[in-house]
Chains A and B, each alone.
Chain A
Amino acid sequence: MNSDHLLDRVDQPAGTAGAKPRRRRRLEDVGTPVMLLLQAAVGVAFLALWQLLSGRVVSEFLISTPLAILGRLWGWIVTGSIFPHLWATVEATLLGFAIGSVLGVFGGVWLGLSPFLSRLFNPYIWAFNALPKVALAPLFILWLGLGIGSKVALAAALVVFLVFVNTFAGVREVDNDLVDVLRLMKATRRQILAKVVLPSATSWIFTGLKTALPYALIGTIMGEMIASSRGLGYLIQRSGSEFDTAGVFAALTVIAALAVVFNEAVNLVQSRLEGWKVVSR
């Protein structure tokens, strides 16, 4: 997966992919290797400019320098002090993501199959969605304490709705003719769910999961910043309060790298699971 076009990153259910970008403008025809070089050049130029301006135009205290940040990162890696934090964040993110996803898929399928229940719960679901989830943090801390529990809960709270909405839409989109075909073949409700509803909702569910994974990370980091003694969020919080700008930036870099890794992992799983869609394109 490369990022030739920013549009590639926009999440859409497979099959509804947007129109092809308009052709015949020279810059758009640049090949992938050249584009990679250009992308690297932009990054290097930005870092060089940053290095140059820092301490001369803008105070180093405010923006640190790329070299200092690199040094800090290197130090963390060599001493190994970054790893417990990294692990704490990864663990909480994945747990929150898993819990939120399961609840979201389950709820989406359940309500998607029942028009009555979905109408019944509709106002409450949207009210919950409108709620800024950070505001729930004090409650989670009250209920689950300062450890991993409250972080996981916050991440799950962010994830659950995104997965729910997509699953729900996917289940609603299922072709009723296919369901009828199976009913005529004596399929039970469970068989219809397993063999038609879930497979045809897969690409929607994945869109939900893909959208939700960065939010799981956001939820975890927020939780760590509010109340925690471990994790990348805590690291940012601590570096900030120690006026350690390089530390803040270094932690941000790690978080960004983590987000990229998560995203690529989901892409990989999705392309494995949906071989038939690739064929039909």
Chain B
Amino acid sequence: MIELQDIGKTFSKGAQTFRAVQNVNVRVDPQSVVAFIGPSGCGKSTLLNMIAGLYPPSEGRVRYNGRTVGDVNTDVGYMTQKDNLLPWRTVLDNVALPLELAGWPPAKRYDAARAMLAHVGLDGFEQKFSSELSGGMRKRVCLARMLLHGPQVLLLDEPFAALDPQLRIAMHDLLLKLWAENRQTIILVTHDLMEAITLADRIVVFSKRPARVAFEGVVDLPRPRDVDSIRFTSRFHEIYTAFWERLRQEYDEVTP
């Protein structure tokens, strides 16, 4: 369970200060997939950073499984638009990194890494460097590395934004498959309403900066979902239209 309680965050740059987040209250149930939607730069990533414990909120607190997050939260896996692979390491060594940090002997960790790479559809690329891979493959490497760390919570910050639509759908498919196996809690930050509805159980919409919760809604599409066809169902369409209407109102209010 992740609880954001009265979260506020103020950044100061020199003499200037600005509020990134104000008075945010969100609860994320275990094993659920929640999408955060909002205009770019509104402070959604700031929220993820605070959930990960990379920096503390200025006001309020982040609770994780009943504890207040004070330091880096090592139960989370974090994935951003940027790949954050170590460019001097091969794919295999990148994926095995979390096990290497945990002190696994080489043979054991490479076996686990190879199996995980095969699982995300990357067998045969173990000895490549990330610079030799396509954008979609790098995402797969990131996913494999993150899953070997075995996090309870996945924080995904527009992870697929840089991919072309076809690849993005393939990644949605992979993500749902992996989620069905491990049932981690997922928080997905995105601009893309289609992506949010395809993947999430619940969508939280944020206002312009400073981010506040504008409204939330439930996505009651049945699981397991088939990412290729679910977009074309009538229920998907209803949900999409409903959200779109609210989104339009919300942002019309802010910018007349």
Contact = CB atoms under 8 A, between A and B. Distances in A.
A185 B97 CA distance: 9
Contacts of A143: none
A280 interface: yes
A200 B129 CA distance: 15
Interface string A117-135: 0000000000000000000
B109 interface: no
Contacts of A195: 86, 97, 100-101
A192 to B, nearest CB: 9
A272 interface: no
Nearest to A274: B88
Given A177-B82, A180-B54, A199-B88, A186 B101 contact: yes
Nearest to B76: A184
Given A181-B78, A184-B76, A184-B78, A199 B86 contact: yes
A183 B72 CA distance: 7
Interface residues of B, number: 24
Q: Is the interface of A mostly helix, strand, loop or mixed?
A: helix
A182 B131 contact: no
Interface string A191-214: 100011001101000000000000
Contact of A185 (B80, B87, B89, B101): B101
B182 interface: no
Contacts, number: 60
A7 to B, nearest CB: 24
A199 B102 CA distance: 19
A184 to B, nearest CB: 5
The bracket for how many chain A residues form the interface is 20 to 34
Contact of B84 (A178, A186, A200, A279): A178
A196 B78 CA distance: 17
Contacts of A175: 84
A200 B88 contact: yes
Contacts of A58: none
A143 B87 CA distance: 46
Nearest to B131: A280
Interface in A79-95: none
Contacts of A199: 86, 88
Contacts of A180: 52, 54, 78
A116 interface: no
A182 B101 contact: yes
Given A199-B86, A279-B131, A279-B132, A185 B98 contact: yes
B202 interface: no
30 contacts: A175-B84, A177-B80, A177-B84, A178-B84, A180-B52, A181-B78, A183-B54, A183-B72, A184-B52, A184-B73, A184-B74, A184-B78, A185-B98, A185-B149, A186-B74, A186-B98, A186-B101, A186-B102, A187-B101, A191-B101, A195-B86, A199-B86, A199-B88, A200-B86, A200-B88, A276-B131, A279-B129, A279-B132, A280-B129, A280-B131
Interface of B: 52, 54, 72-74, 76-78, 80, 82, 84, 86-89, 97-98, 100-102, 129, 131-132, 149
Given A184-B149, A186-B98, 15 more contacts: A178-B86, A180-B52, A181-B78, A181-B84, A182-B101, A183-B72, A185-B97, A185-B149, A186-B101, A276-B87, A276-B89, A276-B129, A276-B131, A280-B87, A280-B132
